[in-house]
Structure 1
Amino acid sequence: MASSEGKPEMQQIDLSKLNIQQLNQLKQQLDQELNFFQDSLQSLKMAQNKLQDSKEVLEKVTPESKGSDVMVPLTGSMYVPGTIADSENVIIDVGTGYYLQKDIDGAKDYFKRKVTFVTEQMEKIQAVGMEKSKIREAVIDVMDTKLQAQLAAQKQVQAQ
């Protein structure tokens, strides 16, 4: 269920009512979620860099570029020599095997919009990650408090 702001609602749990084992399980779950968010942020950062690089390459394509020799990427590490036949239009990869022909300004606009979108998604993930991190810290604090109380009770029993 989502709230009217589009953010998922979090279930409130009274941490003080959970035992140490339950708190540990919750902490492990939060650790997994934080790792997932970190991996997602890394993937988005790589995508953002690729989009930004593509946009910057377009800045170098001018009408005078026609006939220039270039290295054309086939994969991330394999290039073949090529020649710019049309300096007014480019073919861009829009994902899942689809390509579009755009004029230079249209392609620049496409990459600008994609960079903005990816940046917004990164900001959303960072906000959720920060919230989860705060919850994780609260769980650790409650665990520490419960462990200290348990140790104090054991010392008291031993002293008697």
Structure 2
Amino acid sequence: MGASQQQLQELSQQLQEIQEQIELLREDVEAVRDQQDAVDEATDAIEQLESGSTVQVPLGGGAYVRATIEDIDEVIVELGADYALERDQEGAIETLEHKKDRLDDRIEELEDQISELEAESGQLEQQAQQLQQQAMQQQMQQMQQGQEQSPDE
């Protein structure tokens, strides 16, 4: 295998690895967006609920129980890292909005990483094209030299 063929193979492998990284990052973005949707749903529910409201509470496994909200100003909100905080209705909404802002920041970080990888991928593709063109030119030159050296009859 010639040096340019080996370089092409290495570039191809690098491109494949970058594409796999990009795909994983895109999956991460989707997961964070799903978290944002859940936060939006929770925010909407907290805004609409009031003390005395009746709600369906999920127990897991597709089972629900009907419950009455005793006090909407006793909302427990997850903060992350296995911590939670009891907040009043307004405080719970503020906490969820702050959580959504952090998720926005995370999506931005992931999208920046994707952009960097896409730029790197573009550079590698250009290098691969240049190597292919050089290899074709070398083949053409070798063919021409071969024709020139063959005896004319």
Residue 71 of structure 1 is matched in structure 2 by 56
Structure 1 residue 76: Cα displacement: 8.3
TM-score, normalised via structure 2 length: 0.81
- What are the Cα deviations for residues 12-66 of structure 1, in whole angstroms up to 9, with x where unaligned? xxxxxx92122122212211211121111111111111112211211112xxx32
1:50 and 2:38 correspond? yes
Moved over 6 A (4+): none
The unaligned stretches of length 5 or more in structure 2 are 1-5, 147-153
Structure 1 residue 101: Cα displacement: 1.9
- What are the Cα deviations for residues 103-131 of structure 1, in whole angstroms up to 9, with x where unaligned? 11111111010000010111111112111
Structure 1 residue 153: Cα displacement: 1.5
Residue 152 of structure 1 is matched in structure 2 by 137
- For 1:133-152, what aligned pairs fall within 5 Å after superposition? 133-152=118-137
Instruction: Pick the structure with greater CA Rg.
Output: 2
Residue 130 of structure 1 is matched in structure 2 by 115
With over 3 angstroms needed to count, the CA separation of the structure-2 counterparts of 1:77 and 1:120, relative to structure 1, is farther
With over 3 angstroms needed to count, the CA separation of the structure-2 counterparts of 1:49 and 1:103, relative to structure 1, is same
Residue 113 of structure 1 is matched in structure 2 by 98
Residue 41 of structure 1 is matched in structure 2 by 29
Residue 66 of structure 2 is matched in structure 1 by 81
TM-score, normalised via structure 1 length: 0.77
Mean Cα deviation higher: 139-148 or 110-119: 139-148
Question: Matched residue of 1:124: which SS?
Answer: helix
Structure 2: distance between partners of 1:104 and 1:24:
55
Q: Which has the higher helix share?
A: 2
Identity of paired residues, percent? 23
With over 3 angstroms needed to count, the CA separation of the structure-2 counterparts of 1:122 and 1:78, relative to structure 1, is farther
With over 3 angstroms needed to count, the CA separation of the structure-2 counterparts of 1:53 and 1:124, relative to structure 1, is same
Question: Matched residue of 1:138: which SS?
Answer: helix
Structure 1 residue 141: Cα displacement: 1.2
**Match for 1:130: what amino acid?**
S
**Match for 2:19: what amino acid?**
D
> How many residues of Structure 1 are paired with residues of Structure 2 in the alignment?
141
